[in-house]
């Protein structure tokens, strides 16, 4: 599938801002760090350690999916022109086992529409070998969904 033309990230977008939004979230718990805003891609790393292992000491597939959804959703939010994005569907093919070190994910757009976006996220090990390939479909919403917090009594 052909990729969309490289998106121009909104003015003022920074890695510091993206990383600050992760405080107190799953991303912080898993050690996900945004590392690069390139020409048409967003990149982040995640450690492969006790936080992200499954019982056999390998990178948990769910952790790879969490990295993929983090990258795709964050990139999608940046490209949504002030609208919110939420995940509709994600798939992942796990290609290689990893026991330690860092994995790096890179999100690139496949489709940037008014009501949906589709992102491809490739995750590699430290040697550049493919670990996981994922595709994320996002819905573009006119405003963020309501908070999950219970209303005040």
Provide the annotated active-site residues.
Answer: 69
How far out from the chain centre does Cα 132 lie?
A: 13
SS3 for the chain is CCCCCCCCCCCCCCHHHHHHHCCCCHHHHHCCEEEEEECCEEEEEEEECCCCECCCCCECHHHHHHHHHHHHHHHHHHHCCCCEEEEEEEEEEECCCCCCEEEEEEEEEEEECCCEEEEEEEEECCCCCEEEEEEEEEEEECCCCCCCCCCCC
């Amino acid at each position: 599938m052909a990729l969309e033309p490289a998106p121009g990230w909104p003015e003022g977008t920074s890695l510091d801002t993206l990383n600050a939004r992760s405080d107190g979230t799953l991303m912080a718990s898993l050690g996900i760090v945004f590392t690069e805003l390139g020409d048409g891609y967003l990149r982040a790393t995640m450690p492969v350690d006790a936080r992200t292992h499954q019982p056999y000491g390998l990178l948990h597939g769910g952790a790879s999916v969490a990295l993929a959804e983090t990258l795709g959703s964050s990139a999608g939010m940046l490209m949504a022109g002030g609208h919110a994005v939420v995940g509709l569907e994600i798939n992942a093919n796990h290609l290689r086992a990893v026991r330690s070190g860092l994995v790096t994910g890179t999100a690139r757009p496949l489709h940037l529409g008014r009501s949906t976006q589709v992102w491809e996220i490739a995750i590699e090990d430290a040697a550049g070998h493919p670990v996981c390939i994922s595709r994320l479909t996002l819905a573009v919403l006119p405003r963020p969904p309501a908070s999950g917090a219970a209303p005040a009594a």
